[in-house]
């Protein structure tokens, strides 16, 4: 064991050494020449750019289990790359691919940089890892390219996002294109066992008081109803991340503050949510829930999986989670427990008379462009084309039913369109370009439109609604109705110097201290005061100043 670890460490260090030996190129020549856009060979085809002779695009990506190819196709040769070549004269050359797990892509990029190898012209990477690369000075600013190539549809989609570029702005220039996700779909609704509600003869809770009453009724349900000797009112992941999915951040928000995110206090100043006095009241509430067994006894140890397992095994009545939580994993309870039924309900209001919930950010991945990239504009040209033609396709257009007949859908002999895996010869493939053109509001807007009993009509509505069920539609309608209560973490920049040094320490103290409060190991007043004084004496004050300064510099309001 020991020798294995040593060998591994040794070989890693060896790899780094070799990497360092060859690293002169990247380090000594940080000022890459101004990019010459090779547009001399471009002409127009169908109103968009076409390269003749074709240009080669040297890119890279991670390929996970969700990327499915047709038989005989691979990442360098498939329907999508063929289409890029025919439609745009762009030959996609994937220099390398990595698995999606274990940060493999990030590691490979870092090793390429240390070895001074050629970087992909552009690539997609989690936003949190992008900051380091941007600050390395090896990436290209892109605001000019976006302004030049993005059309109205694309710009409108980006305009839906609050502060779209803030996180990746350095001295007024934007260095990354965030792959914006659908908005609101990760926002929480309250999931309740409808059959328990019925057995208890109660309505879905609308306030915190109601919620307590319902939880109380649930834990006193007869075992002939629940099938268990002991059941719990509410299951949640309270281990260390208080804003995770299946957490309780909307209940915290009912008291007026969300822990672990940067938000504005009453005075309008940015503060770390966990230091706000409202959190103390919320902790007192949760302690009571543990004492009264509304929560399972191990709630302070539970992660998301433990939290949903309690629900899907039929031992907990309420949880709060995203719109997709019924599809996975919560509906399993209906298979595991005969007669179980799950329903989606609005988040109950807290003592403030309303509530807040933490938003999940506007994106996860961003696209970065190497300074040495010869054809960065291709990303924008193709993405713009997709926004114009694919995101909201016209009836009768090329993309009306999806990307390509036989690729992600099939027109059957009788003329009907099927998206079912088994109907498509060779299986359903997934589209493999960098970012599907997302209109953030599109998915939940369509779902809540359909929730009102409307039939899908437009091609986008028909395509998106494949496989949706009524419970998801209900959840979508609920998040649309409560979207103004979502607050986003205001700090999205690279970790500040004091954060790098102190934040992990502070967070460890925070969560262990809060757990001690929840389990009565320290008193509420004493515990919360010690957290506040720890925060201010161990770097919290400097971090707050740095965050406020960053927000001001990045242009937040």
Binding interface with other proteins (CB under 8 A): 2-3, 6-7, 9-14, 16-17, 19-20, 23-24, 26-27, 110-111, 113-114, 129, 132, 136-138, 230, 239-240, 296-298, 300-301, 495, 500-502, 504-505, 508-509, 511-512, 515-516, 519, 534, 538
Is 183 or 506 the residue whose CB approaches other proteins more closely? 506
Integer Cα distance of 251 and 247 in angstroms: 9
Closest approach of other proteins to the CB of residue 118, in Å: 14
Is 132 or 210 the residue whose CB approaches other proteins more closely? 132
User: What sign has the CA pseudo-torsion 126, 131, 137, 142?
Assistant: positive
The continuous run of DSSP H or E covering 262 comes out as strand 262-264
C-beta separation of 316 from 234 below 8 A: yes
Closest approach of other proteins to the CB of residue 110, in Å: 5
Is 110 or 532 the residue whose CB approaches other proteins more closely? 110
Q: Tell which residue, 367, 523, 167, has the closest CA to residue 531.
A: 523
Angle at 521 between CA 517 and CA 525, to 5 degrees: 45
* CA distances from residue 383 to 229, 246, 416 in whole angstroms, order as listed: 56, 34, 29
* CA distances from residue 419 to 376, 387, 411, 428, 464 in whole angstroms, order as listed: 34, 22, 9, 8, 11
Is 448 or 513 the residue whose CB approaches other proteins more closely? 513
Is 322 or 547 the residue whose CB approaches other proteins more closely? 547
Residue 146 C-alpha from the chain's centroid? 23
Closest approach of other proteins to the CB of residue 68, in Å: 28
Is 63 or 115 the residue whose CB approaches other proteins more closely? 115
Closest approach of other proteins to the CB of residue 486, in Å: 26
Q: Going by C-beta distance under 8 Å and a sequence separation of 6 or more, which residues neighbour residue 105? A: 60, 61, 62, 98, 123, 125
Strands 232-234 and 316-322 come out as parallel
Structure tokens at 299: 């709630």
Is 17 or 44 the residue whose CB approaches other proteins more closely? 17
Is 3 or 46 the residue whose CB approaches other proteins more closely? 3
Closest approach of other proteins to the CB of residue 537, in Å: 9
Is 354 or 538 the residue whose CB approaches other proteins more closely? 538
Closest approach of other proteins to the CB of residue 103, in Å: 9
* CA distances from residue 242 to 32, 274, 492 in whole angstroms, order as listed: 43, 10, 17
Closest approach of other proteins to the CB of residue 2, in Å: 5
Is 80 or 316 the residue whose CB approaches other proteins more closely? 316
Closest approach of other proteins to the CB of residue 37, in Å: 25
| DSSP letter for each residue of 491-538 | --SSPPHHIIIIIHHHHHHHHHHHHHHHTTSS-HHHHHHHHHHHHHHT
Is 401 or 550 the residue whose CB approaches other proteins more closely? 550
Closest approach of other proteins to the CB of residue 41, in Å: 32
Q: Going by C-beta distance under 8 Å and a sequence separation of 6 or more, which residues neighbour residue 297? A: 290
Closest approach of other proteins to the CB of residue 152, in Å: 38
Closest approach of other proteins to the CB of residue 4, in Å: 10
Kindly state the DSSP code that residue 141 receives in the 8-state scheme: -
* CA distances from residue 428 to 70, 399, 420, 421 in whole angstroms, order as listed: 7, 16, 8, 5
Closest approach of other proteins to the CB of residue 288, in Å: 18
Q: How many CA atoms lie within 13 A of 329 on its CB side?
A: 15
C-beta separation of 161 from 180 below 8 A: yes
Structure tokens at 455: 């039939």
Integer Cα distance of 195 and 193 in angstroms: 5
Is 384 or 546 the residue whose CB approaches other proteins more closely? 546
């Amino acid at each position: 064991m020991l020798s294995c670890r040593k060998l591994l460490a040794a070989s890693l260090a060896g790899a780094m050494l070799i990497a360092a030996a060859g690293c002169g190129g990247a380090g000594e020549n940080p000022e890459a020449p101004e990019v010459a856009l090779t547009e001399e060979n471009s002409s127009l085809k169908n109103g968009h750019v076409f390269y003749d002779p074709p240009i080669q695009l040297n890119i890279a990506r991670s390929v996970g289990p969700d990327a499915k190819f047709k038989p005989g196709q691979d990442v360098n040769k498939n329907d999508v790359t063929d289409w890029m070549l025919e439609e745009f004269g762009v030959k996609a050359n994937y220099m390398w691919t990595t698995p999606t797990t274990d940060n493999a892509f990030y590691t490979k990029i870092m090793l390429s940089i240390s070895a001074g190898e050629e970087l992909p012209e552009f690539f997609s990477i989690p936003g949190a890892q992008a900051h380091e690369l941007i600050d390395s000075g090896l990436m290209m600013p892109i605001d000019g390219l976006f302004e030049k190539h993005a059309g109205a549809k694309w710009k409108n989609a980006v305009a839906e996002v609050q502060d779209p570029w803030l996180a990746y702005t350095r001295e007024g220039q934007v260095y990354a294109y965030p792959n914006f996700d659908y908005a609101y779909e990760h926002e929480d609704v309250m999931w309740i066992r409808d059959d328990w509600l019925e057995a208890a003869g109660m309505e879905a809770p609308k306030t915190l008081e109601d919620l307590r009453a319902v939880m109380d009724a649930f834990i006193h349900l007869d075992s002939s109803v629940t099938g268990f000797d002991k059941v719990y009112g509410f299951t949640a992941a309270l281990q260390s991340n208080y804003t995770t999915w299946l957490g309780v951040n909307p209940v915290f928000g009912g008291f007026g503050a969300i822990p672990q995110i940067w938000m504005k206090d009453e005075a309008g100043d940015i503060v770390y949510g966990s230091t706000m006095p409202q959190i103390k009241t919320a902790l007192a509430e949760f302690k009571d829930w543990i004492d009264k067994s509304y929560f399972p006894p191990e709630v302070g140890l539970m992660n998301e999986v433990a939290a949903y397992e309690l629900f899907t095994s039929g031992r907990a009545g309420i949880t709060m989670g995203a719109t997709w939580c019924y599809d996975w994993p919560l509906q399993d309870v209906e298979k595991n427990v005969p007669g179980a039924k799950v329903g989606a309900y609005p988040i109950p209001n807290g003592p403030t008379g309303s509530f807040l919930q933490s938003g999940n950010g506007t994106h996860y991945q961003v696209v970065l462009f190497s300074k040495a990239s010869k054809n960065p504009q291709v990303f924008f040209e193709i993405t713009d084309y997709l926004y114009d033609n694919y995101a909201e396709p016209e009836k009768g257009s090329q993309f009306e039913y999806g990307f390509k007949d036989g690729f992600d859908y099939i027109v059957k002999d009788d003329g009907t369109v099927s998206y079912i895996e088994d109907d498509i010869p060779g299986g359903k493939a997934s589209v493999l370009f960098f970012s599907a053109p997302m209109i953030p509001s599109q998915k939940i807007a369509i779902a809540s439109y359909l929730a009102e009993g409307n039939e899908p009509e437009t091609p986008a509505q028909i395509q998106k609604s494949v496989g949706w069920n009524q419970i998801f539609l209900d959840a979508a309608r609920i998040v649309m109705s409560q979207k103004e209560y979502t607050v986003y973490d205001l700090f999205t920049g690279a970790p500040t110097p004091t954060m790098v040094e102190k934040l992990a320490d502070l967070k460890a103290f925070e969560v262990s201290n809060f757990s001690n409060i929840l389990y009565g190991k320290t008193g509420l007043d004493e515990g919360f005061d010690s957290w506040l004084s720890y925060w201010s004496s161990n770097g919290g004050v400097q971090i707050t100043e740095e965050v406020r300064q960053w927000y001001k510099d990045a242009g937040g309001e």
